[in-house]
Structure 1
Amino acid sequence: MNLLNDLTGAIWQAHTRLGPHLRETPLDYSQAFSRMTGAQVWLKLENLQPTGSFKVRGALNKLLSLSPEALQKGVVAASSGNHGAGIAYGLQKLGAKGVVFVPEGASATKLEAIRRYGAEVRVFGKSGDDTELYARQYADAHGLTYISPYNDPEVIAGQGTIGLEIAHQMSQPPDAVFVTVGGGGMISGIASYLKSVSPHTTIVGCQPENDAAMWASIQAGRIVSIEARPTLSDGSAGGLEPDAITFALCQNLVDDWITVSEEEIASAMRFFIETQHQLLEGAAGVALAALLKAGIRGRRAIAVVCGANIGLETLRKILQ
């Protein structure tokens, strides 16, 4: 697949595949965020997905693209939580089986979500990078299909259906779209579609200052490793695989980058909870914090609220 040329068609195909299984998430106009920024702000509410995260789009699209034989053998995934829950949800829907490897210290709330859908969970590695490497090796050794959280065209196409929905939900193209970036699958998919229909829309990549591997790689012009620090945005934490196809996509499609502090993330999360009366996780707070920081007065902007899966202890910490 020539990604830049073919992703738009793949996103339409993903939209058709996912239609019977997932509903279109709301794109809500936010009076509170609009007033705070002096802009017109809409929130794409991926926190209302059945698994509480956008990740189910890519995971399920990949599963639906597999042959019956590959599904019958089983799949392997590596995840800090949300991708694993998306895989588990899809496996339950399709009556298939799989193993999800998670790093030590992964969110208990997210692990429980994976188990709730019936997938097997195994713990390996102190970091997400170690977990991903081991999961790939395990899949190869056992003849199983490995499903990356981001480094896969079908996963990217599934996430790209967010961009397709945004384009159809807006009467006019947005001036800017703020998207949290971890491995880059979501922003690659969203940008691929939106740039094809609205090339002047600014795509803004958002990362926590404490763990901004993609931004560091973009600055270096190559994929690099960084020393990550703890962050509320556990859903976007971790480095990039050496051959990550999302790196080139981000280089070509993302127009601007904003990093935010832990206090900025927490403050944005509190504001969202107070004004929108919904839960969100740290990764979603990153995009909202970047939107509040960007200086978008007079513009039409969208922030993708990418997930809702926050543990009670983390929630207490933020609210205090």
Structure 2
Amino acid sequence: MSMIQKIEQAEQRIRPYIRTTPLEHSLPLSRLTGGPVWLKLENFQHTGSFKVRGAMNALLSLTPEQREKGVVTASSGNHGIAVAFGLHTLHIPGMIFTNEGTSSAKVEAIRAYDVPVHFWGTDCVVAEEHARAYAAEHDMVYISPYNDLHVIAGQGTIGVEISQQAQGLVDVVLAALGGGGMISGIASYLKTIFPHVEIIGCSPENSAVMAKSVQAGRILELESLPTLSDGTAGGVEQDAITFPLCQQLVDDYILVSEEEICQAMRLCMQTHHMLIEGAAGVPLAALLKNAQRFRDKNVVIVLCGANVGLETLRTVLY
């Protein structure tokens, strides 16, 4: 089965459990670039993030026997919240591993679904390795935040919605890049429907493992510095299936500073009166940094989530 067939299958499977998020025209950003700029509002999605798409597709793809054994995942926040939402909704037992630096707001959001949270290590890739080993040892199912075809196909349903809402008028898509699950899914679908579309992966300078790995031609082990974009932070598994997908499908990469992310978050709140988290601020910052590059083009920016803690929000605003 091709990836586009997997995405179309995911679209049918998860539709009862997710929202069709708006594609909203941005007047201030369009004036900046001289062409139409649209915001894909995944910050309005259930659980406050696009991650519920991939998590629900993976969970709904389990056999009854796998559901009974239970699910393990690892996450720096949003995937964990999404899996917890799915476990609660589908009445499946499971647990979430996360690293020590995970946002307390995101940890509390996971616990709100009565799903156990365990801390392991200081980087998400270390927590992922431990969670995989735990799942294998206890004969449970492991669901990766990005290194899973069902997850990628679920995230690809964003591309399905964009294609329907934009009616083909898309030249460029800017999306946050961490492990590569979201951008791989979106690109897999949109490049099949609209071969001309340019897909740009956007990462914080402080944690750009996938972007730098693609540049190097191999998955690198790099230290990640603290970043407002905690949803994209951390390492990438060595066997990640998203790596060759990013190599093939992502046309370019833009890195942004912490101050640029901060300014983008503030701009969104000021001009669109919407809360976004750091990862959603990254592609917006990439547009602001390169406005002339996108002149007269139809641009879609994926605002991937809104899960930001109050302490982080205070640092952004003040």
TM-score normalised according to structure 1 size: 0.97
User: SS of 1:84's equivalent?
Assistant: helix
Structure 1 segment 210-221 matched on structure 2, within 5 A: 210-221=206-217
Deviation at 1:291, TM superposition (A): 1.5
- Deviations along 1:42-82, one digit per CA (max 9) or x if unpaired, are 00000001100001100110000000110111000000110
The yes-or-no answer on 1:300 pairing with 2:284 is: no
Instruction: In structure 2, give the amino acid aligned to 1:319.
Output: L
Q: 2:270 aligns with which of 268, 274, 285?
A: 274
Q: 1:256 aligns with which of 249, 252, 255?
A: 252
Aligned mates of 1:117, 1:172 — CA distance in 2: 38
Q: Is the 8 A contact 1:208 1:260 kept in 2?
A: yes
Deviation at 1:39, TM superposition (A): 2.2
Q: 2:279 aligns with which of 268, 277, 283?
A: 283
Q: Is the 8 A contact 1:228 1:238 kept in 2?
A: yes
Q: Is the 8 A contact 1:213 1:240 kept in 2?
A: yes
User: SS of 1:137's equivalent?
Assistant: helix
Q: Is the 8 A contact 2:168 2:194 kept in 1?
A: no
Q: Is the 8 A contact 1:99 1:120 kept in 2?
A: yes
Deviation at 1:227, TM superposition (A): 2.0
Counterpart in 2 of 1:173? 169
Structure 2: stretches of 5+ with no match in the other structure: none
Q: Is the 8 A contact 1:216 1:226 kept in 2?
A: no
Counterpart in 1 of 2:99? 103
Deviation at 1:38, TM superposition (A): 2.1
Instruction: In structure 1, give the amino acid aligned to 2:42.
Output: E
Aligned mates of 2:3, 2:289 — CA distance in 1: 31
User: SS of 2:106's equivalent?
Assistant: helix
Instruction: In structure 1, give the amino acid aligned to 2:96.
Output: V
The yes-or-no answer on 1:31 pairing with 2:27 is: yes
Aligned mates of 1:285, 1:140 — CA distance in 2: 36
Greater Cα offset, 31-40 or 128-137: 31-40
User: SS of 1:20's equivalent?
Assistant: helix
Deviation at 1:37, TM superposition (A): 2.4
**Cα RMSD (Å) of the superposition?**
0.8
Q: 1:113 aligns with which of 104, 109, 122?
A: 109
Counterpart in 1 of 2:144? 148
Counterpart in 1 of 2:71? 75
Instruction: In structure 2, give the amino acid aligned to 1:285.
Output: G
Q: Is the 8 A contact 1:173 1:198 kept in 2?
A: no
Counterpart in 1 of 2:317? 319
Deviation at 1:105, TM superposition (A): 1.9
The yes-or-no answer on 1:16 pairing with 2:12 is: yes
Counterpart in 2 of 1:233? 229
Counterpart in 2 of 1:7? 3
Q: 2:179 aligns with which of 174, 178, 183?
A: 183
Q: Aligned pair count?
A: 316
Aligned mates of 1:59, 1:148 — CA distance in 2: 9
User: SS of 1:187's equivalent?
Assistant: helix
Deviation at 1:118, TM superposition (A): 1.7
User: SS of 1:57's equivalent?
Assistant: helix
Q: Is the 8 A contact 1:129 1:238 kept in 2?
A: yes
Structure 1 segment 200-219 matched on structure 2, within 5 A: 200-219=196-215
Deviation at 1:171, TM superposition (A): 2.4
Aligned mates of 2:28, 2:279 — CA distance in 1: 20
Q: Is the 8 A contact 1:265 1:285 kept in 2?
A: yes
Aligned mates of 1:314, 1:14 — CA distance in 2: 34
TM-score normalised according to structure 2 size: 0.98
User: SS of 1:19's equivalent?
Assistant: helix
Instruction: In structure 1, give the amino acid aligned to 2:35.
Output: A
Aligned mates of 2:262, 2:115 — CA distance in 1: 31
Q: Is the 8 A contact 1:98 1:120 kept in 2?
A: yes
Deviation at 1:36, TM superposition (A): 2.3
Aligned mates of 1:215, 1:67 — CA distance in 2: 35
Deviation at 1:11, TM superposition (A): 0.3
Structure 1: stretches of 5+ with no match in the other structure: none
Q: 1:197 aligns with which of 190, 193, 200?
A: 193
- Deviations along 1:154-211, one digit per CA (max 9) or x if unpaired, are 0000000000110011123301000100000000000000000001000001000110
Q: Is the 8 A contact 1:217 1:223 kept in 2?
A: yes
